[in-house]
Amino acid sequence: MAPHREPISVRTTRLNNIILNKVCFAGLGGNGAIQKKSIATAARRSVYGTGVVSNVLTETVTREGLLDALYVLYNECNKESLKKRDRSIAEFVNKYRPIMEETQQLRANAEDFIIKTLIGKGYFGNVHLVRERQTNDVYAMKKIKKSVVTTSQVKEERDIMARRSSEWITNLQYAFQDEDNLYLIMEFLPGGDLLSLMSRHGPFDEELARFYLAELTMAIHSLHEMGYVHRDIKPENILIDRFGHIKLADFGNAAALDRDGHVFSLSPVGTPDYIAPELLQTISTYKLTKSMHDVSCDFWSMGIIGYELICEITPFHEDNVHETYSKILSHCEDSHLKEIITFPEDLKVSENYKNFIASLVTNPSKRLTYDKIKVHPFFKLIKWETLRSRAPPIIPTVNGDDDTSNFEDVVRNKRRTDTFVKKSLTTNVPSNDFCGKDLPFIGYSFVYMAKHDVDAEGTADDTRYGRLNNKIKDLQSNLKQRLEEISSLNQQLRRYEQTAKQSDTQSKILQDAKDEIKKMKNIIKEKTMELAGCKTQIKTLQSSVKVEEEMWEKKEATITELLRVNRQKYEEAKIASEQRYEKLIAEKKHELENIIRNWITEKLN
């Protein structure tokens, strides 16, 4: 008896939905990234309708992946030696040449972007601030030479950012490639990186360090929850958004965890000053488990950053990197913590802070885990659930969406650029025969909007989501202005109170001053109520955004033209609102000046 099969129409519909990335299944995100919980259930099947679709199929057979495969096939066939050797190949190339040319014009490519400024340099490639030609949207573009990377490096980095599942991870908008290079178009975070902030601010106090280490803890844990370990945590790879919160970046050395939460490595990876001892074991006699490490290596690097934040230098730094490695390894072998890691004598450091750093910069078996970090006394006052919604202690100054003033000169200190990297197995040697050099990069291309259908329902969701985000930004700006107004009014109140004390013998003047103080207190009370209202609205809207974000993954995305019109309307409404608000401030200011002027006149008369 023949096995039961569904009708052709049903199977065709399912295949079409897979290609358009419409299939949703529990436990895994899109774009092939592996979550920690899904590692142990990699063979799990997902159901769409009444049929069963494998995870491998839904992750591999995508629109962009199929176009990549067609592009590679065409380029391999489009060689003179092959076309002369086989007539079928020549006919194939001639038939598909106009199709490929038009397809490449429709797909995202480097010509869509105007390069503005270099904002980062690394071994794998450079990062530029770019602007999309047609929409004027600003992004950060990382250009990577295919000849210097391995397939796993580009896959992990692309997959992690393409997931867009964590507010602590830099988001990917597009990924594409040409003959020699890979391109990642990422969100631009105008706050710069942590290294630049450290350079501008100088040594941090413990309160300031506590905030950034708490956010770094959450960011690292979110990556671990996705099933990856970063392995190159350092200040340059910690970016700051326009509101002052951090996001992790540069996942070129990241690795996927196995089902036991480990990574096997044949060579060390990372940056000398921040590398964990277990990552150096392949070049030393230091043995933990043969060529194996886990997520705790990222927390070692966080401990090094914690020391650097208040001391402005890493604890094991030497001009000779081999001496740095030796100090790192001997630190764990000897276990004499206080003899190796010492703080400057003139620096006041709490015992909790010292213990926290010591509990991270130690052997893996003794190193704090995420759960223990959260309950460490150093973080006693941190509210982890609301950390992302808390106002950061330093809010970057941003003058425009393409402002790069918060980024330090891209020429870094040499010790920061000596990074272990895996050697590429690819070659760019030209060949007239089939060489397959681009086969490893099939499926690399990515378009964020490609996984959604562009229909009315999706458009409404995206519009509503954007509107809520824009309103939150407006309210946050309004909140900041209200705080400034309250501060100014408090200063005036203090001046009036001082005047009242000095005029104790003049009852009439004293009474007038008290009346003015009462008026000012009423004004402050009104502004405080407005402030409380703004805070309540922000919390409500933030909750709404979270709900909308959950719905966002289940529904389909938006129409670009409608977004552009909504954005234009928003800008016009914002300008009109700002003009009305400035006019109201001017009127209030003028009214207050008249009251003060009249009062002074009455006193003088």
Asked if residue 362 and residue 219 are part of one domain, the reply reads yes
- Cβ count within 10 A of residue 484: 10
Q: What is the number of alpha carbons within 13 Å of residue 143 lying toward its C-beta?
A: 16
Q: Which amino acid is at 554?
A: K
Asked if residue 460 and residue 337 are part of one domain, the reply reads no
What pTM was estimated for this model as a whole? 0.69
For residue range 216-274, what is the model confidence (pLDDT) as tens digits? 999 999 999 999 999 999 999 999 999 999 999 999 899 999 998 899 887 788 899 99
Asked if residue 47 and residue 116 are part of one domain, the reply reads no
In a domain, 554, yes or no: yes
Q: Tally the domains of the chain.
A: 4
Output the known binding site: 142
Asked if residue 88 and residue 56 are part of one domain, the reply reads no
Q: Which amino acid is at 96?
A: Y
- What CATH number is attached to the domain comprising 210? 1.10.510.10
Higher per-residue pLDDT: 128 or 419 = 128
Catalytic residue among 159, 232, 403, 461: 232
Residue 579: in which H helix or E strand, if any?
Answer: helix 560-604
Asked if residue 244 and residue 390 are part of one domain, the reply reads yes
Over residues 357-369, the mean pLDDT reads 93
In a domain, 414, yes or no: no
Asked if residue 249 and residue 237 are part of one domain, the reply reads yes
What is the overall mean pLDDT for the chain? 82
Spatial distance between the Cα atoms of 586 and 605, rounded to a whole number of angstroms = 28
Tell me the helix, strand and coil percentages in the chain, rounded to 5. Answer: 55, 10, 35
How far is residue 302 from each of residues 62, 329, 367, 414, measured CA to CA in Å? Answer: 37, 17, 11, 20
- SS3 label, residue 192: coil
How far is residue 343 from each of residues 204, 207, 321, 347, 402, measured CA to CA in Å? Answer: 14, 17, 21, 7, 39
Question: Annotated catalytic, 232?
Answer: yes
- What CATH number is attached to the domain comprising 117? 3.30.200.20
Yes or no: say if 153 and 426 are a contact pair by the CB < 8 Å rule. no
Spatial distance between the Cα atoms of 308 and 209, rounded to a whole number of angstroms = 10
Task: Please give the torsion angle defined by the CA atoms of residues 584, 587, 592 and 598, in that order, rounded to the nearest 10 degrees.
Answer: -160
Spatial distance between the Cα atoms of 452 and 459, rounded to a whole number of angstroms = 10
| Residue 559 structural domain | 456-604
Asked if residue 589 and residue 494 are part of one domain, the reply reads yes
For residue range 82-118, what is the model confidence (pLDDT) as tens digits? 888 899 999 999 999 999 999 999 999 999 999 999 9
Q: Which amino acid is at 76?
A: E
Asked if residue 367 and residue 342 are part of one domain, the reply reads yes
Asked if residue 377 and residue 312 are part of one domain, the reply reads yes
For residue range 275-324, what is the model confidence (pLDDT) as tens digits? 999 888 766 544 444 568 899 999 999 999 999 999 999 999 988 998 99
- In the structure, what pLDDT confidence band is assigned to residue 45 with cuts at 50, 70 and 90? very low
In this model, does residue 12 exceed pLDDT 70? yes
Reference 6, options 44, 48, 61; nearest CA is 48
Q: Token match 């905030």: residue?
A: 211
Output the known binding site for ATP: 142
Residue 227: in which H helix or E strand, if any?
Answer: none
Asked if residue 39 and residue 165 are part of one domain, the reply reads no
For residue range 173-191, what is the model confidence (pLDDT) as tens digits? 999 999 999 999 999 999 9
- What CATH number is attached to the domain comprising 584? 1.10.287
